[in-house]
Structure 1
Amino acid sequence: MSTPHVKTCSLVLLFLSCFHISAQEQNASAGFKVEEVVTDLTFPWSVAFLSNNQMLVTERGGTLRHVVNKTVSKPIAGIPDDLYVKGQGGLLDVVLHPQYRQNGWIYLSYSSGTDSNNTLKVIRAKLRDNQLVEKQDIFEVLPYRDTPVHYGAKMVFIEDNSLLITSGDGFDYREDAQRDNNQMGKILRVLDDGSIPLDNPYIGETEKNLSAAVFTKGHRNPQGLVYDLNRNKVFSHEHGPAGGDEINIIKMGKNYGWPIITYGKDYSGATISPFKSYPGMEQPLVDWTPSVAPSGMAVYYGSLFPQMRGDLLVSTLKTKEILWIKMRGDKVVEQQSLFADLGYRFRDIKVHPDGSLYLLVDSAEGKILRVTPQIN
């Protein structure tokens, strides 16, 4: 199966598909109005919209903020005491229950533990008087590890209100992505209370089977995860090593290959695997070699940018751009670079209820940008 490569294309398709040297990149923000809506954040990681004028923002260092009409709250109290902040770890994703307006549940992912013994955890809680209350443990990734990187940590609710959670391979434990009875390098699926769905593909015969929570396997560090209601499909992207970043369509029970198949190499330049394909393993929808370091992802169905309808938008850290992944059905037909002229590392991208785009800038002087159409 052929795979689109971002920075390589034939001469025949040069004008159409090599967006990295296209005229659009020369003025990547043309046609868009970009404004700062929140400033003075420290490495913001994720955002969830409570309403049109309210949102929650996580800061990796361990702070959760409530923003109302662009006014940022003091740190919300009640962050878990076992929070572990080091490397890529800290307070990470925040999502709302699909029935948030009725039940008030907020879900948070974070790294927990110590240098020698840490993992990814998910809790849920309610927000009351700038404090997290009624906290409940939802999930803990097992086994623990001794590396502060590759947590995954993205979450999304799908059509049956079950929760998908991405779990990275811990960097030094890449073989665990293929191991059974192990939750690292996987996408996990639980019910909204943390219990295991009985139709999970590796449910096994006992509750002690760690594979029971596994939805898919063979992932490195998946940090983009969206559910497309219109297509009824889940899209994920993940960091490769040196090259081999990829987007996948996530299907229950499938194996996405890492580290047996990859388009990337080790950071030392050494070969990780001789295989780019292997029987029983999925090919990516998109491969980025060299790496772009994809972070967040959104699927667009808002009203402000009708030209983006049904397309994917990917924030990147290394190449400091938003990649507009143009889709036709389930196929990628073109990619376009946006906002590279701003020079920011983008940690996440979300679609606001009004159809505007919110971009999280990954920095010690972090901020949130709002993107709307430029009106001349």
Structure 2
Amino acid sequence: MTNFSKLPLALSLSTFALASCANAETGDSPETTETETSFAVEPKGEFDRPWAIEFIPGTETLAITEKAGTLKLMKTKSGEVTIVSGVPEVDYGGQGGLGDVAFLASEAGREGGRTIFLSWAEAGEGDTRGAAVGRGTLNCNEDTDACAVEGLEVIWRQAPKVTGKGHYSHRITFSPDEQYMFIASGDRQKLEPAQDTSNTLGTIVRLNLDGTPAAGNPMADKGGVTAEIWSYGHRNILGMDWDAEGRLWDLEHGPAGGDELNLVEAGANYGWPTRSYGNHYNGDPITDHSADDGFTKPAIHWTPVIAPGDMIFYSGDMFEAWRGDALIAGLSSQAIVRVSIDGDKATETGRYAFDNRLRSIDQSPDGSIWVAEDGSEGRILKLTPQ
């Protein structure tokens, strides 16, 4: 166990909004975003390339995955950090390693062990690898503060495993009724498989909580991995969350330009790599979406990119004016990007600058906002109104 001494309290970070009309191409962008805003920022310790942060439901304990393969739990009141044993071996390198961590909200009041879901990059044969998701039980000994993931079993694998070390995506979310698990499955930088529904690259899959394909999926009658697919034509999805109406949204990296926020619909094809608002990294053009192209269009897209790392829909009271908005952790943009939703339309309404790349974001039980910086000395930051 590590006990972080409290770093300088309430480091004041005066944040400001950048004009979104230069960055968001929707045809309906406002002339300006929110005016200058400030909030108190309290550093809560440094971690080695944190990838995901998630509050354990019903507690003030924050679970933190470190990309090289470590899972840690932080008691946010005291700053005490425990390393959790029993995590899987990961294929660390490139964009791969230990990924997401997720819990069931319905277990908020549960005594003893609770269900934990983890995602990671898993090695295969012949220099191949792919995303995997496992389910186990998180148990902690109150006397020793030792914690372990027990009975971890792989319940889903990206298919097929391929060469390369990019675009695993592997974010995990559950439907509001917790009947289904949705997993983001990136295109692994292979492009064309995202339009081929005989595999799960470039898709969002919808599963039962044991990892089997959910009944009623759009291509359930085709069997195999195709039966897992909920939507396809995605590139690299690094954020998924549910709005107040119970609708699923995804946030994905475009290539050179064209980051997207999408309302996720059953059976929808989002066009990658046939259509995109960006270009290939070598400068080769990709045809933009058109009204008659047959693909589902993003609710908002960004050029220059914001390089999203994660997203939540804010539902707390501390930042009351932001309730119902999407808050996006930006990597190259080094910002929290705030997006307001109106029906199926989305508009950037705020952008708040930070000193470093932001990898992950979560909301605590008290409504404060927590973010994880990217990198080998990535700080966990608590944000409260100032």
Tell me the TM-score normalized by structure 2: 0.86
Q: Do 2:240 and 2:251's aligned partners in 1 also have CA atoms closer than 8 Å?
A: yes
Q: Which residue in 2 is equivalent to 1:137?
A: 154
Post-superposition CA distance 1:142-161 (Å, at most 9, x none): 00111110001111101342
Indicate whether 1:116 and 2:136 are aligned.
no
**C-alpha separation in 1, matches of 2:222 and 2:256:** 39
**Alpha-carbon distance in structure 2 between the residues aligned to 1:31 and 1:274:** 37
CA contact (8 A) 1:91 1:111 kept: yes
- Residue of structure 1 aligned with 2:185, choices 167, 180, 183: 167
Which of residues 349, 355, 361 is equivalent to 1:335?
A: 349
Choose 294-303 or 275-284, whichever is displaced more.
Answer: 275-284
Contact 1:305 1:373 in 2 (8 A): yes
SS at match of 1:297: strand
Matched with 1:104 is 114
Kept in 2, the 8 Å contact 1:87–1:148? The answer is yes
Q: Scaled by the length of structure 1, what TM-score is found?
A: 0.88
CA distance in 1, matches of 2:80, 2:119: 21
* Offset at residue 217 of structure 1 (A): 0.3
Shift of 1:279: 3.3
In the TM superposition, residue 295 of structure 1 has moved relative to its aligned partner by 1.0
Asked if structure 1 preserves the Cα contact closer than 8 Å seen for 2:60 and 2:365, the reply is: no
How far 1:314 moved relative to its partner? 0.5
1:107 maps to a residue whose letter is F
Residue deviations 1:106-132, cap 9 Å, x none? Answer: 110100005711000000111223111
Please provide the CA RMSD for this pair: 2.2
Equivalent residue number for residue 27 of structure 1: none
Tell me the distance in 2 between the aligned counterparts of 1:9 and 1:319.
Answer: 13
Q: Distance in 2 between matches of 1:76 and 1:46?
A: 15
Mapped partners of 1:234, 1:6: distance in 2: 26
Q: Compute the displacement of 1:86 (Å).
A: 0.7
CA distance in 2 between partners of 1:269 and 1:318 (Å): 19
* C-alpha distance 140-6 of structure 1, shift in aligned 2 (>3 A): farther
Give the superposition deviation at 1:204.
Answer: 2.2
| 8 Å Cα contact 2:74/2:82 also seen in 1 | no
* CA shift for structure 1 position 277: 5.2
Q: Which residue of 2 aligns with 1:350?
A: 362
Overall identity of the aligned pairs, in %: 32
Query: Structure 1 residues 55, 334: CA separation in 2 closer, same or farther (over 3 Å shift)?
Result: closer
Q: Equivalents in 2 of 1:119, 1:302: separation in Å? A: 36
Instruction: Output the CA distance in 2 between the equivalents of 1:205 and 1:220.
Output: 23
Please say if residues 60 and 89 of structure 1, whose CA atoms lie closer than 8 Å, have aligned partners that are also in contact: yes
Aligned with residue 282 of structure 1, among 296, 313, 337: 296
1:200–1:215: 8 Å Cα contact kept in structure 2? yes
**Deviation at 1:218?**
0.3
Choose the corresponding residue for 1:34, options 28, 32, 41.
Answer: 41
- What secondary structure is seen at the aligned counterpart in 1 of 2:85? coil
Partner of residue 366, structure 1 = 378
> What residue ranges of structure 1 are gaps of 5+ in the alignment?
25-29
Can you give the 5+ residue segments of structure 2 that lack an aligned partner in the other structure?
Answer: 1-19, 141-146
Distance in 1 (CA, whole Å) between partners of 2:338 and 2:294 is: 30
What letter is aligned with 1:237? L
Alpha-carbon contact 2:239-2:251 (below 8 Å) kept? yes
Cα distance in 1 between the residues matched to 2:342 and 2:252:
22
Cα distance in 2 for partners of 1:283, 1:245 equals 12
1:258-285 deviations in whole A, cap 9, x for unaligned? Answer: 1111000011111133655553311100
Once residues 137 and 181 of structure 1 are traced to their aligned partners in structure 2, the CA distance between those partners, rounded to angstroms, is 21
> What is residue 45 of structure 1 aligned with on the other side?
51
Cα offset, 1:238, TM superposition: 0.2
**Which residues in structure 2 correspond to 1:143-292 (within 5 Å)?**
143-161=160-178, 162-171=180-189, 173-206=190-223, 209-228=224-243, 230-273=244-287, 275-276=289-290, 278-292=292-306
Count of residue pairs brought into register by the alignment: 353
One-letter amino acid of the structure 1 residue matched with residue 100 of structure 2: D
In structure 2, the residue matched to 1:86 is 93
Name the amino acid aligned to 1:169.
D
Question: In structure 1, how many angstroms separate the alpha carbons of the residues matched to 2:349 and 2:356?
Answer: 19
Which whole-Å CA distance do the structure 2 matches of 1:278 and 1:123 have between them? Answer: 40
